[in-house]
Amino acid sequence: MLKTNKRALLKALGAAAMVAGMSAGPAWAQAPIVLKMAHVYNPGNIWFETAEAYAKAVETRSGGKVKIQIAASGSTGDWPASIEGLKIGTNDIVLQSIGTLDRYNPLPGLEAYPYLIRDLDHFKKVYFGPVGAEFIEEVAKKSSFRIIGAGYRGARWLTSNKPVKNVNDIKGLKLRVPPLKMYRMTWDMLGASPVPMGAAELFTSMQQGVVDGQENPLEFIDNFKFNEVQKYAIDTRHIIGAMTWIYSDARFKRLPADVQTLLKEEGDKVMLEASDKMAKMESGLRDKLTKAGMQFNDIDREAIRSRLGGIAKEFPDLAPWAAKFAAVK
C-alpha cells in the first residue's frame, strides 16, 4: 500500500513538473532580469534615443521580464571607465563604437580603419552579413567582449580653430584623438600631433587651447556643442564608424539562451533602424552647424588617403580583415 501510494505520488509530481515546464515558456519568465546600460550621450541625441528604443523593445518583447536600466550622459563615467565596468560587473551593456575595444585587442580597431567602409549600403552588407558575423565572433574570442548590432555613425570630420585647406595644413596640429591605437597612428601619419584623451575633458581642452581640434561624426560634434569652441569643420570623412552594444562575452553567455536571442535580435533591429535615421540626418546636421557658426571646408580626400597608404604595414594583423571588408560588394 505504501509503495503504491509512493509510486502514485511520484507520478503526480512528475506530471505536475511537466505541466509547469510546458507552461513556463521562455527562461526569462522564471525571474526578472535587470541589465544595467551606460553611455555618454545626452537627451536629443540619436544614440540616447537608440538606447531608449532598445530598452523598450526588450522589455516589451519579454513582457517586462527583461529590463534595461540606462545611465545616460556619462553619469557613471566616461566610456573607458564604463567598458571597464563590464569586466567587473558594474555594467552589463555599454553603448559605444566598436573601435573603443582596441585597448583590449587590435582587431576591434578595424572599425576605425581609414577609408575602409564606403557608404551606408556597404556598411550594412559588411556588419550584417557573413563577414560581419565572423568578425563579431573573432572579436569575442580575442577581446572577451560580445558586440551586438552595428549602428551607422556617419562619417568623421576634422574640426579645428585653424584653417585646414589641404593635407599639409594638418602638420603640427594638436589634435585630440580617442585613446586608441588606430586613431593615434592615423593622425601621426598625417603629420598632426595626436593628444589622446577621453571625451569628458574635450570641450574644456578646446576652449582653453590645450588642443587645436578634434575629429568626430557630425552628430557627436552637435551633441557636445563643439561649434561653440571650434570654428572650422573640414570634410575629411576619413572613417565611417559603427556604434554597437558591448557586453562581457562571458557574462552574456551566462544568460538564458532565449534571453541571448532576444537581446541580439532586438539589438540588431534597433541598430538597423538607427542607421537609416542617422543617414537621413547627416545633411541636416551640416546645415544646423553652419547656422550655428561653423565654417565647412572641402579638402582633397585622395591626398589624405595617399598619405595613409602605409597603414596596413603598421597593422599587419588587420590587413586580411581589411581586405575581407573591402571585398564585400
pLDDT digits (tens, 9 = 90+) for 203-227: 999 999 999 999 999 999 998 999 9
pLDDT at 20: 35
Cα-Cα-Cα-Cα dihedral sign, residues 318, 98, 221, 213? negative
127-148 mean pLDDT = 97
Domains, in order of start, for the chain: 29-327 (3.40.190.170)
In this structure, how many other beta carbons lie within 10 angstroms of the beta carbon of residue 49? 15
184-190 mean pLDDT = 97
3-class SS shares of the chain: helix, strand, coil, % to 5: 55, 20, 30
Residues 282, 154 contacting (CB under 8 angstroms): yes
- The cell for 7 is 509510486
Distance CA 236, CA 234 (A): 6
Q: Nearest Cα to 236, choosing from 144, 131, 161, 165?
A: 165
Residue 286 has pLDDT above 50, yes or no: yes
Residue 7 has pLDDT above 70, yes or no: no
Distance CA 45, CA 32 (A): 29
Please write down the long-range contacts of 121-130, taking CB distance under 8 Å and 24 or more positions apart: 122/328, 123/150, 123/152, 123/240, 123/242, 123/275, 124/152, 124/272, 124/275, 125/328, 125/329, 126/325, 126/328, 127/242, 128/268, 128/272, 129/328
274-288 mean pLDDT = 95
**Phi, psi at residue 288, to the nearest 5°?**
-65, -45
Residues 263, 246 contacting (CB under 8 angstroms): no
Cα-Cα-Cα-Cα dihedral sign, residues 38, 44, 49, 55? positive
pLDDT at 198: 85
Q: Name the least confident of 198-202, 270-274, 314-318.
A: 198-202
Residues 26, 64 contacting (CB under 8 angstroms): no
Q: Are strands 93-97 and 33-38 parallel, antiparallel or unpaired?
A: parallel
Going by the DSSP 8-state scheme, the letter that residue 239 receives in this structure is -
In this structure, how many other beta carbons lie within 10 angstroms of the beta carbon of residue 329? 6
Residues 236, 304 contacting (CB under 8 angstroms): yes
Residues 234, 192 contacting (CB under 8 angstroms): no
Question: Pick the residue with more confidence: 269 or 7?
Answer: 269
Residue 136 has pLDDT above 70, yes or no: yes
pLDDT at 26: 54
Residues 37, 92 contacting (CB under 8 angstroms): yes
114-136 mean pLDDT = 98
The amino acid sitting at 105 is: N
pLDDT at 199: 86
Per residue in 37-73, pLDDT (tens digit) is 999 999 999 999 999 999 999 999 999 999 999 999 9
Arithmetic mean of pLDDT over the chain: 91
